[in-house]
Chain A
Amino acid sequence: MAAAAVAARSSPARALGGPGKRGLVAAISCDGDPADFLPGLDSALAAITGLGGPDTWRSLFAPGDRVAIKLNCLSGASLSPRPPLVDAVVRGIRSAGVPAGAIVLFDRTSRELERAGYPIARAADAVRCFGTDALRGGGYETEIREHRSIGSLFTRILTEHATVLVNVGVCKDHDLSGVSAACKNLFGLIHNPNRYHANRCDPYLADLLDHPAIAPKLRLNIVDAIDAQCHGGPALAPPYLFKPRKILVSLDPIAIDRIAWEMIEAERAARGMPALRDDGREPTWLATAEGRGLGIADRSRIAVREVAA
């Protein structure tokens, strides 16, 4: 095959982990912030893909991909994905041949990104970083996309730029959905998330995950759980911060959120706090999503592979 053809190759669409990859979550143990997160990410991807070496990243990304990395920066610098972690994710994606100019870090607003430690970058030949709000016209599409209970405008970063979506969230309690880790971060892709907070976000989170604008593009989920929050979310609530010292990595957005939920519940139990169910905030949308075939929420069917940083 000609080199040019190889360079233009895009990785095939994989919906939500693909066959045989569901229910696998890698947990990178981080006693402190490692000097470089990439070796741990390499190990994590090897654990969940069954591959090793250069093939791990290449199994997920290809030179022709345009990658949008959705960060969750709502809670500011203290509880957003760490920039060194995201830097390692970018280097991993680039190791698969994706050019820097094809990678965008984004969240709802540039202001949120800056507050979380991500300088705005717009140069076309480098990794870019900006909020949806930086785009002309507000940054959202103009036509509603309907799917099940969802009727929303999507960020044009996802619909007009990205062929691949990487989801990088944090591990925190959420006052309405119970847990905000991977799936809840996806609310930042639409213009009207406030419309979908009823009934503990069930079935809205499942329906959004299943949306044709998202499902075919969602390639990888990462949750920064070196620090986490067991109550008072989604905003930063320092009394409820704790330190799981983990980075979770999975192709399955439901399984990774199920493990994040488990971490939050363990900390709540250790503090003598009620379980989310008893607090009226059980994340029932996880079971709804599993029922729709979007991933594994049943803990007994999820395997966690511990790897070193």
Chain B
Amino acid sequence: MDRSLGRRGFLARCATAAGGLCALDPLPHSDQLPRPALGQGLFDFAPAEDGEREVSDAPADYWDSLSGDRAVCRLCPRECRVADQERGTCGVRMNVGGKYRTLVHSRVCAAHIDPVEKKPFFHVLPGAKAFSIATAGCNIQCRYCQNWEISQFRPEQIPSVEVPPARVIETARGSSCPFVAFTYSEPVVFWEYVRDVADAGNARGVRSLVISNGYIQEKPLRDLLPRLSGVKIDLKGFTESFYRDVCDGELKPVLRTLEILKETGIWFEIVVLVVPTLNDDEGSMRGLCEWVARTLGPEVPLHFTRFHPMYRLQNLPSTPIGTLERIHGYAREAGLHFAYVGNAPGHPAESTYCPGCGKTLIKRVGYTIMETALKGGSCSSCGRAIPGLWT
């Protein structure tokens, strides 16, 4: 997410970015309206044009009834037990009279056209555009979340627009986007919307990419994967303590997700945001790299990206480039062929090199593709096959 924009500005920018092709109604720039100071006896009420703060009321999947109108959610490993009128930890799935509902189906709170490199996908159609959307909510809480202004809010607390699946696909096609990307917040919590958009896209030649924390139960994961073309997993760290203390999540289910991705053969890449002093120690990072090489194989792209102070982690410095380079070295020593450094524009490890002959195959600077030397998914010099989604 472009951090220079507030969430409303972000939404409004959608229309600008997509020009006349993006049919989403821009939300008002309420942040730009004059605001009287709040003080004694003076309130600043929301005008009617302050954007919609509506929620959907669609059936949720993956839950079971419990006694007394209670429900247990089976979407993510948290398995929230939810009483009537209450919500799960994600804040977007609610028990209404004993029926579990999703409040975010078709309620888009962020939309933008991004290069796939921004997700990041480095082995997916270089330079291709992805119509990228999100709803409110997340099932974990990373203390450094870059998009907390949408992921850590309930849907009625932030502006959103109703964008039915067919309209998402229409917008993507109209904007020459071969992909829709579900990103920014956490697609797991808007699973039903992802499914419906992916189905609509598959019928009209628009493929779907999911950018996720991977904290999902096996059944909904397996049900979704055949509908998708690629998945990027944010592997937050490699210790349960980091997941518990910094992300309010669990490591083990995420590793299981990665194993399932490998098993099914879908294209996937892994990103690790390196947070100084919290997940950057040699033991856990070497362990992570060795686990990936051993369990998922040496061809899986593994990105180490730079942390910047955000949300509830404001007291740490940005990740030193040297730290990223050190951990990148662990990945190479573990035998991984495609290790990258991210959020460091211009760094040589942003580019893709042929493991066979060392040739620069895709030269990147930030999200920009400077040159490519791929020929039909293989190195143009030595002919080695390069894994990825190249067509």
Contacts and interface: CB of A to CB of B under 8 A. Distances in A.
| A and B interact physically | yes
Interface string B139-163: 0010100000000111011100000
Contacts of A130: 43, 45
B139 to A, nearest CB: 10
A160 B35 CA distance: 14
Interface residues of B, number: 42
Given A231-B68, A232-B68, A237-B84, A135 B311 contact: no
- Among A75, A122, A231, A235, chain B packs the most CB atoms within 10 A around the CB of A235
Interface stretch (B46-54, B175-183, B204-212, B294-302): B46-54
Contacts of B35: 136
Contact of B53 (A122, A133, A231): A133
A66 B69 CA distance: 40
Interface stretch (B87-95, B219-227, B253-261, B344-352): B87-95
B65 to A, nearest CB: 14
B154 A194 contact: yes
A13 interface: no
Contacts, number: 103
Interface stretch (A138-146, A263-271, A301-309): A138-146
B263 to A, nearest CB: 31
Given A102-B40, A156-B38, A232-B68, A175 B31 contact: no
A136 B87 contact: no
A114 to B, nearest CB: 15
Nearest to A157: B43
A74 B87 CA distance: 13
Interface string A137-166: 111100010100001000010001100000
A188 interface: no
A124 interface: yes
Nearest to B82: A175
B83 A234 contact: yes
A194 B87 contact: yes
Contacts of B86: 175-176, 234-235
A134 interface: yes
B2 interface: no
30 contacts: A74-B85, A109-B156, A124-B42, A133-B53, A136-B33, A137-B50, A138-B157, A138-B158, A146-B312, A151-B143, A161-B38, A161-B40, A161-B43, A176-B86, A191-B153, A191-B154, A191-B157, A192-B91, A192-B153, A194-B90, A195-B89, A195-B91, A195-B152, A231-B68, A232-B84, A234-B83, A234-B86, A235-B85, A237-B68, A237-B69
Interface of B: 30-31, 33, 35, 38-47, 50, 53, 68-70, 80-91, 141, 143, 152-154, 156-158, 248, 311-312
